[in-house]
Structures are given as structure tokens and as C-alpha cells.
């Protein structure tokens, strides 16, 4: 607990550096990664992340220093080489993109691991930092690293801000962008370069193996909450920063633990929450609206029973027992009870000593359902040429999906017929109620 408080207060200068650095990094890679995600290039991002390893190792072998700028340059070069290799293989051979990505990723990473073992075998004292690049070690960041990190991240964000409209049109419709005369190749080049830089700076904290998740997962999570690209970028940045914060805390409190996996767990947790609870797109929301649909369908069916009984006896407002309703169309008693209670709450039915009866509102609603059913039957027999004795089932399922606009279209298309294919009258509410 004391440890957590000390961490949160950021009183320790080094902690402050690390936390700030990793949060910045999480935010800026997520911003750049949003475009990688939208361009469906996630796997290329993964390949680049793995492919920076040989560059880092070579830079270290030749310079024998662990200066961040030197390592970053190495990472940048081998990252770009991997993109070029994937492009080359896809364009010049019959190997498809997915296979090209797999080949390039493994070759580069394999060479990287070879070089890493070589560095370890030479027992160079400064090498201790190098193997952190595999899974990341945020706590190993020092003041110098963080300053460079901050500058690079700021550059990334500013470039994205400046080229926001170019990046978005490139991601949505590259052919059209080119037809406008925009320099699509150059924009693409800048975007790929930003991606490689984001990866190259990120690996210190997250590691090459897991870096792709920092690029892609915040964007994937953010997509659930919004339909606007600008909001999506902000959310992705926030999610990235939040996971960075969590990861650096772990790295601080358990120094033996690599940071990468913990950052990934944090960001994946955010993605999981988004997939589950986001409005409209989330599982929970979908489940809820499905359940609601099942309920309204049931309620509309009950209203229709009232209508049919009323139509037969010529009185829409008679009270009826549940057994009477079941005799017309059977549903389980518990389901009917629940549905009647919902309808009662909505003011469509009311209970009296003889059972349940429709209210004025309920009568209108019940007529509407019956009307839709019969109009839809009419439509199917008239336009789809389905025989009259086969139209009921279709109408039964589709009558519950009508919006007011569709309802109007249906009425106009059929020109307000008087009867359905079974010669039953169609109860128009506007004329019959008022």
C-alpha cells in the first residue's frame, strides 16, 4: 500500500520520469496505431515490431554504446527494411501478403535473436540493457531516454495533427485520394515512417514481441465507443496512456518483472470492457437490445390476441382472463403474466376484477399490429406472389420490425387496401379511432 501511494504521488524523480515516459509513449503509439488499424495493416505492424530487433542489436554491436538515439536509428532502419521486404515479396512474387508478412517477421526476428545471443556471449557489461528490448523494462528508462522519448512522441502527435485529413482519406479511400492529385505515395511514406518510429521508441518499455498490441489494441478498443475519427484518436491515446501508467507501476513495484506483458494485460482489459459494455457495439448492449426485442414481440403478440378476440365479438374493451387469451393463442402463463405487467406499466392494458382489458392507447396499438400483419400479408401475396395460405408465418415474424417510415411506405405501396388476402378488414387506426 505504502508502495502504491509512493508511486502515485510521483515523489521519486525517477518514478516520475518513467511514468510520464511510458504514458506518453502509450498515447502516441496508440494515435499512430489507429491509422494502422483502420488501414487493416495490423499484421504489418506486428512484423515491423519484431523486425526492429536485429537493427537494435547491430547498432549496439557497432557502436558499443547504449545511447537511445543510436539504438533508435538501428531499429528504424531494420523496421523500414521489413516493410520494404513485405512490399517487394507481395508485388514481385506470387506469395500473398499474409505469407510475406509471416516470412519477413520470422526471418528478421530470428536474426535478431541470433545477434542478441552473440551480444550476450561476448559478456559486454553494457549489454544488460539490451535483452530488455525483448519484453520491455520501463523501469530501466533513465532521464536521458525519457527526454528523447518525449520529443519523439511530441513529433509523432504533431505530424498526425498536421496531416489528419490526409491520413484519414488515405485510410478510407486511397484511390480517390490519388485521383484528387494528393501525393498519396508520400503521405503513405510519412505514415509508415511514423509507425516505424512509434514502434522503435515503444520497444524500450513494451518489448519487440508485444509491441504490436500497443499499436493496435487501444485503437480496436476505441472504435467501440465512437463513430468519429477524431474522438477515436483521443480515446485510443487515453487508453494507451492508461495502460502505460499501469505497466510502469508494475515495473516499479516488481523490478524483476518485464513491463510488456503487464501493459498488454492492462490494454487488453480495456479492450475487453469496451467489447462488452460499449453502447451499440458491445456484446452486453446487443444482448440487452435483443432481449428487449423478444419482450416487445411478446407484448405485441398479446395485444394482437386482444384485438382478434375483440374483432370477433365486436367489442375491443372487454376484460379477459389469461385462460381466455391462451385459448386464442397459447403462451406459457408466466410469460403472459410478465408481458401483461409490462403492458400495464406502459398504460396499454389495465387489470380489473374480470381480468385484463385494453386501454384506449392499447386499442390503437393493437390495431396497428393487426394492420401491419395484414398489410404485410397483402404485400407478400401481391408482390412476392406467395399464395394466401402461406403468407401468415412471414407476416408473423416481420410485423414486429416495422419503423414508422417503413409502415408509411408499406401503406402507400399497397395504396391502403381494405382487406387482407384472407378478406379480413385492415384496421387503419387514423380513421377508425378518431
Partner 1 sequence: MIVQVENPVLEVHDLTVSYDKNPVLWNVDFSIPKGKLVGIIGPNGAGKSTMLKSVMGLVDKQSGYVKVFNKDLDEVREQISYVPQRESVDWDFPASVLDVVLMGRYGRRGLFKRITKEDKAIAMASLEKVNMQDYAKRQIAQLSGGQQQRVFIARSLAQQANLYLMDEPFAGVDASAESSILNLLQEMRAEEKTIMVVHHDLQSAYEYFDWVILLNMRLVASGPKEEVFTPELLQETYGGKLTLLDSLSNFIRQKEFPIKG
Residue 40 or 256: the one with the smaller Cβ distance to partner 1 is 40
List all residues 6 or more positions away from 49 whose beta carbon is below 8 Å from its beta carbon: 199, 203, 208, 209, 210, 211, 212, 215
User: Which string of x and - marks every residue 106-145 that binds partner 1 (by CB under 8 A)?
Assistant: ----------------------------------------
Please choose, out of 168-176, 341-349, 353-361, 426-434, the segment that lies near partner 1 by the rule CB under 8 A: 168-176
Candidates 182, 386, 388, 398; binder of partner 1 (CB under 8 A) is: 182
88 touches partner 1 (CB under 8 A): no
According to DSSP, the residues that pair with 425 across neighbouring strands are 419
According to DSSP, the residues that pair with 352 across neighbouring strands are 355
Contacts to partner 1 from residues 308-367, by CB under 8 A: none
Cα 203 to Cα 400: distance, rounded to the nearest angstrom: 53
User: Which string of x and - marks every residue 373-412 that binds partner 1 (by CB under 8 A)?
Assistant: ----------------------------------------
Please choose, out of 7-15, 54-62, 179-187, 192-200, the segment that lies near partner 1 by the rule CB under 8 A: 179-187
Candidates 73, 124, 178, 295; binder of partner 1 (CB under 8 A) is: 178
168 touches partner 1 (CB under 8 A): yes
Residue 16 or 281: the one with the smaller Cβ distance to partner 1 is 281
For 132, 318, 372, 374, 432, the CA distances from 429, given in Å and listed in that order, are 73, 19, 11, 13, 5
Cα 206 to Cα 154: distance, rounded to the nearest angstrom: 19
Nearest distance from C-beta of residue 70 to partner 1, angstroms: 32
Residue 233 or 340: the one with the smaller Cβ distance to partner 1 is 233
Contacts to partner 1 from residues 205-224, by CB under 8 A: 223
Nearest distance from C-beta of residue 175 to partner 1, angstroms: 5
Instruction: Return the CA Rg of the chain.
Output: 32
Nearest distance from C-beta of residue 193 to partner 1, angstroms: 16
44 touches partner 1 (CB under 8 A): no
Cα 21 to Cα 150: distance, rounded to the nearest angstrom: 7
Among residues 199, 192, 195, 201, which one has the least CA distance to residue 152?
201
Cβ pair 19, 10 in contact under 8 A: yes
413 touches partner 1 (CB under 8 A): no
278 touches partner 1 (CB under 8 A): no
Cα 365 to Cα 155: distance, rounded to the nearest angstrom: 60
For 45, 79, 129, 410, the CA distances from 112, given in Å and listed in that order, are 17, 12, 15, 66
232 touches partner 1 (CB under 8 A): yes
172 touches partner 1 (CB under 8 A): yes
Candidates 1, 175, 389, 393; binder of partner 1 (CB under 8 A) is: 175
Nearest distance from C-beta of residue 40 to partner 1, angstroms: 8
Cβ pair 204, 140 in contact under 8 A: yes
Cβ pair 77, 21 in contact under 8 A: no
Among residues 322, 313, 311, which one has the least CA distance to residue 369?
311
Q: Which positions lie near partner 1, rule CB under 8 A?
A: 38, 40, 162-163, 165-166, 168-169, 171-173, 175-183, 223, 226-229, 232
Amino acid at each position: 500500500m505504502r508502495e502504491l501511494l509512493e508511486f502515485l504521488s510521483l515523489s521519486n524523480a525517477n518514478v516520475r520520469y518513467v511514468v510520464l515516459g511510458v504514458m506518453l509513449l502509450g498515447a502516441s503509439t496508440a494515435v499512430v496505431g489507429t491509422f494502422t488499424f483502420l488501414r487493416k495493416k495490423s499484421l504489418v505492424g506486428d512484423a515491423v515490431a519484431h523486425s526492429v530487433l536485429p537493427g537494435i542489436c547491430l547498432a549496439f554491436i557497432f557502436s558499443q554504446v547504449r545511447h537511445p538515439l543510436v539504438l533508435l536509428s538501428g531499429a528504424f532502419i531494420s523496421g523500414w527494411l521489413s516493410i520494404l521486404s513485405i512490399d517487394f515479396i507481395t508485388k514481385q512474387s506470387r506469395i500473398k501478403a499474409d505469407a510475406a508478412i509471416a516470412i519477413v517477421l520470422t526471418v528478421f526476428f530470428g536474426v535478431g535473436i541470433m545477434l542478441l545471443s552473440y551480444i550476450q556471449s561476448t559478456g559486454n557489461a553494457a549489454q544488460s540493457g539490451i535483452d530488455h528490448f525483448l519484453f520491455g523494462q520501463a523501469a530501466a528508462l533513465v532521464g536521458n531516454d525519457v527526454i528523447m522519448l518525449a520529443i519523439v512522441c511530441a513529433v509523432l502527435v504533431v505530424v498526425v495533427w498536421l496531416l489528419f485529413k490526409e491520413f484519414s482519406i488515405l485510410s478510407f479511400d486511397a484511390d480517390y485520394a490519388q485521383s484528387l492529385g494528393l501525393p498519396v505515395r508520400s503521405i503513405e511514406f510519412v505514415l509508415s515512417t511514423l509507425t516505424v518510429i512509434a514502434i522503435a521508441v515503444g520497444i524500450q518499455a513494451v518489448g519487440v514481441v508485444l509491441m504490436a498490441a500497443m499499436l493496435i489494441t487501444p485503437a480496436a478498443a476505441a472504435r467501440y465507443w465512437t463513430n468519429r475519427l477524431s474522438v477515436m484518436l483521443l480515446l485510443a491515446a487515453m487508453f494507451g496512456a492508461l495502460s502505460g501508467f499501469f505497466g510502469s507501476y508494475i515495473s516499479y513495484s516488481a523490478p524483476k518483472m518485464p513491463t510488456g506483458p503487464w501493459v498488454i494485460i492492462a490494454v487488453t482489459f480495456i479492450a475487453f470492457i469496451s467489447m462488452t459494455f460499449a453502447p451499440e457495439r458491445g456484446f452486453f448492449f446487443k444482448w440487452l437490445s435483443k432481449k428487449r426485442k423478444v419482450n416487445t414481440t411478446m407484448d405485441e403478440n398479446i395485444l394482437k390476441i386482444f384485438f382478434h378476440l375483440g374483432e370477433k365479438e365486436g367489442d375491443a374493451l372487454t376484460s379477459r382472463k389469461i385462460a381466455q387469451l391462451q385459448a386464442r393463442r397459447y403462451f406459457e402463463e408466466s410469460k403472459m403474466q410478465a408481458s401483461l405487467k409490462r403492458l400495464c406499466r406502459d398504460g396499454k392494458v389495465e387489470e380489473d376484477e374480470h381480468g385484463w382489458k385494453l386501454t384506449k392507447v392499447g386499442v390503437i396499438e393493437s390495431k396497428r399490429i393487426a394492420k401491419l400483419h395484414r398489410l404485410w400479408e397483402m404485400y407478400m401475396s401481391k408482390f412476392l406472389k406467395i399464395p394466401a395460405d402461406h403468407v401468415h408465418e412471414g407476416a408473423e415474424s416481420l410485423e414486429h420490425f416495422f419503423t414508422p417510415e417503413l409502415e408509411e411506405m408499406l401503406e402507400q405501396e399497397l395504396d391502403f387496401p381494405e382487406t387482407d388476402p384472407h378478406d379480413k378488414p385492415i384496421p387503419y387506426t387514423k380513421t377508425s379511432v378518431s
